[in-house]
């Protein structure tokens, strides 16, 4: 047999064997990762069940007083009022008094009258309300448009102040709007509500989904998974983890 032909055949079979081994390795790795996350999900579900049944002692006592204001961020496509009302009932049972419900498209805001009617035990939060213990839970409804509108109005307030200060002065180019000035402007236009102590995200994305950034400077953020898969035990665990965190605020 021709030596060159034999060499080509040898290279061909080596290439095929390497491809098969690489594919097997990839599939094995893929299956291993899936099994790993499956095991984690099973463990989390089991832990959530044990917590909800009160079988894990450390979760029995929550320092709920540390949670003055809670924000719930929900993926708009996952906004089901029945789930939201059930979630609010869980929070009320735990003693949470002030909650902000946020979704990017404003679906919850459009349904606020229905939610307030169905969830017997809540009132609408007003911006000037003080975060004090009270018999009824207060609810704030927010969406992405609120943040955009607030920033636009605040920018207009700062611009008008800038013009009144003397727009033709020689040092106008050196004037810079600071964070504190923006904060004061947001308060003026009504876009600077309470800063949540804890923000729980229900949805596939591990982000705050456009929740006003100036309101979460010191907020703890936890991802909870899809709203349709919410679990009472997972909610208790998230609040427990927050109450155990030592928060250090910079000067």
Task: Judge if 132 and 230 occupy the same domain.
Answer: yes
Is it the case that residue 178 has pLDDT exceeding 80? no
Q: Is 167 inside a domain boundary?
A: no
Q: How many domains does the chain have?
A: 2
Confidence of residue 58 (pLDDT cuts 50, 70, 90): confident
Judge contact between 221 and 73, C-beta under 8 A: no
> Residue 101 belongs to a domain with what CATH number?
3.40.1180.10
Of 130, 148, 147, whose CA–CA distance to 138 is shortest?
130
Domain with 84 in it = 65-147+191-244
Please compute the mean of the pLDDT values over residues 98-115 and round it to a whole number.
91
Confidence of residue 162 (pLDDT cuts 50, 70, 90): low
Q: Please name the residue that has the structure tokens 């665990």.
A: 237
Q: Is 54 inside a domain boundary?
A: yes
Task: Judge if 31 and 136 occupy the same domain.
Answer: no
Crossing angle, helix 179-189 and helix 144-164, to 10 degrees? 110
Sign of the CA dihedral 181, 249, 131, 220? positive
Torsions phi, psi for 162 (to 5 deg): -65, -40
Per-residue pLDDT of 191-242, as tens digits, reads: 557 889 999 999 887 888 888 887 888 899 999 999 998 999 999 999 999 9
In angstroms, how far is CA 177 from the centroid of its own chain? Answer: 29
Judge contact between 137 and 96, C-beta under 8 A: yes
Query: Which pLDDT does position 188 carry in this prediction?
Result: 54
Is it the case that residue 170 has pLDDT exceeding 50? no
Confidence of residue 92 (pLDDT cuts 50, 70, 90): very high
* Domain end call among 10, 31, 60: 60
Per-residue pLDDT of 36-47, as tens digits, reads: 988 988 988 898
Query: Which pLDDT does position 184 carry in this prediction?
Result: 60
Task: Judge if 24 and 83 occupy the same domain.
Answer: no
pTM above 0.95, yes or no: no
């Amino acid at each position: 047999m021709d030596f060159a032909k034999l060499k080509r055949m040898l290279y061909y079979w080596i290439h095929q064997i390497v491809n098969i081994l690489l594919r097997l390795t990839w599939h094995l790795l893929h299956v291993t990762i899936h099994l790993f996350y499956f095991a984690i999900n099973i463990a989390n579900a089991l832990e959530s069940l044990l917590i909800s049944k009160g079988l894990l002692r450390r979760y029995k006592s929550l320092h709920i007083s540390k949670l003055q204001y809670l924000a719930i961020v929900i993926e708009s496509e996952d906004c089901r009022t029945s789930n939201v009302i059930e979630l609010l009932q869980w929070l009320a049972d735990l003693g949470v008094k002030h909650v902000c419900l946020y979704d990017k498209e404003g679906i919850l805001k459009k349904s606020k009258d229905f939610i307030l009617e169905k969830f017997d035990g809540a009132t609408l939060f007003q911006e000037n309300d003080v975060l004090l213990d009270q018999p009824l839970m207060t609810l704030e409804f927010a969406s992405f448009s609120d943040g955009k509108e607030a920033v636009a109005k605040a920018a207009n307030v700062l611009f008008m102040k800038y013009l009144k200060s003397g727009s033709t002065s020689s040092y106008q180019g050196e004037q810079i709007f600071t964070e504190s000035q923006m904060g004061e402007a947001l308060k003026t236009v009504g876009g600077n509500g309470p800063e949540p102590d804890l923000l729980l995200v229900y949805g596939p994305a591990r982000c705050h989904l456009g929740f006003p950034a100036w309101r979460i400077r010191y907020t703890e953020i936890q991802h909870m998974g899809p709203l349709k898969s919410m679990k009472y035990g997972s909610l208790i665990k998230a609040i427990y983890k927050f109450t155990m965190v030592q928060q250090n605020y910079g000067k």
